[in-house]
Structure 1
Amino acid sequence: MAISAKLVKELREKTGAGMMDCKKALDATNGDLEAAFDWLREKGIAKAAKKADRIAAEGLAAFAIDGDKAALVEVNSETDFVAKNEEFKELVNMIAKAVAEAQVNTVEETLKLVVDGQDLDTIIKEKTGKIGEKLSLRRVVAMSKSEGETFGAYSHMGGTVAALVKVANADDEKARDVAMHVAASAPQYISEDEIPEDVRERELNVLKTQALEENAKAAKPKPENILHKIVEGRLKKNFKEVCLNDQAFIKNPDQTVAQYLGNGKVEMMARFKVGEGIEKKEENFAAEVAAQMKA
């Protein structure tokens, strides 16, 4: 099948691999983006991508904490200039407070919430007209806590990244520190127990293929039982890098987050990086890809 420049661009952004390597991977996998990603990893050309590595749009992520309720939201704007506008900031904070109070967890539910006699959908549209730039609510998360639980929240670079956590058996300082760590390190799961089976299997298959290819090229190939241990070791290492409890704590890399918390336990976490996964328009990229493919 013909591989489009857009597909090459998407794989390139996801993996950081070169343009022609991305084209080869897509050719080898009949244009299947996920399979091409794994193909590049198997060849040692790309590493597992983190959400934080994707291209960003503009806007703000903000949290609100009101007693036993809290929320984290992301609202997008077209330019960084508007994201710094005080009126836009007030809008984002209003939405975060409304989500915390109502404890809704979808954009659709949030847009129906009424604040000062108007639903948020109308308020956002009116702000769009007033500010002169498209504004859109992208995602929300609400949390509630009970006795013995604490919220921790952290905002980085004026709302470019924001994190919210709920921790049991921990004080405010520790909860905030964990939120800071989540904002900085972007864990995908709290613990290894949360990793879905299909994710485990996919990662295992990639590492097995990688190890077999390395072994085939080695001067002294390793026996199967040793290869198995190597793969298991790499799998464990990869999972530790994406699980909050096992990550090296940002304020003291000599201990893990779990060790820092001691008897404390993270029960929920959310992290929003503004615009992650949203493509920005790049007018000349298609022409650049087409030219290089003809070379």
Structure 2
Amino acid sequence: MTTVHVRGIALGIESFGDDDAPLVLLAGGTTMLSWPDALCERLAAGGRRVVRYDLRDNGESTTADPEAPAYTLRDLAADAAALAGALGGGPAHLAGIGVGGMVAQVAALDHPGAFSALTLVGTRPVAPGPPDDDLPDHDRASMGRLFARPVPDWTDREAVAEFAAAGAEILGDDPAAARAAAARVWDRTPGTAPPVQRANQLGMVFSRLDCAPRWRERLPGIGVPALIVHGRRDRFFPVGNGEALAREIPGARLLVLEEAATAIPGAAVGEVAEAMLTLG
């Protein structure tokens, strides 16, 4: 792992594969660990240079004030384009997961020359908050259970890991994988201040961003090959959101993972990697 400085900030990155291979840039959702190690390794084995990175106020990237971010969604999109340029090798295949998928959509629209392909995993075509009437919202029962839990002591690594495991069970993800990932995120978080730990674990900074203007109506203008990956059992962004993205981005392929929820499970890594490698 290292950092790359672009646009006056540091972005934490981790690289896999040959530095001279075509670049696949994985935008964290919000930390780079949203992308499974096994997927990064499979893409690298398929002849790609894979770079996953942390969004601002997460992981090894510049941390300022996650409770009052002084940047916008469009800034995060510009970060992705600048990082792709700094890493070199021509246009990159950009992939975003969860809220990182929102960053990726705007990046592909605002900086089309920086990217050669687009993969969107478990995301939707509108910003945090109430969705458009034709898009399914978060599963209400699951959200009730998720947000009714007492918050953990964010300075306690084991308590945070257990909190993540319990949340994964509610969402239909693998609790053991979520526990392990949360512990790794905790270890990579700069300090134990509760707001910073909470931002890294829950991506709360994203809900405080200025995400205007809307971008959904611009999706037909995406001119690169696109892959939409969505879990059939996703209770946070139900699969109808991925279906909408596939309809509105010209020529997009929709890959529905029948046994997946919000995270990419280990059993689906091969299928997702193959689809991404086929895309470009």
TM range (shorter): under 0.3
Structure 2 length-normalised TM: 0.25
Instruction: Select the structure that is richer in helix.
Output: 1
Find the structure with the greater CA-based Rg: 1
Structure 1 length-normalised TM: 0.24
Instruction: Select the structure that is richer in strand.
Output: 1
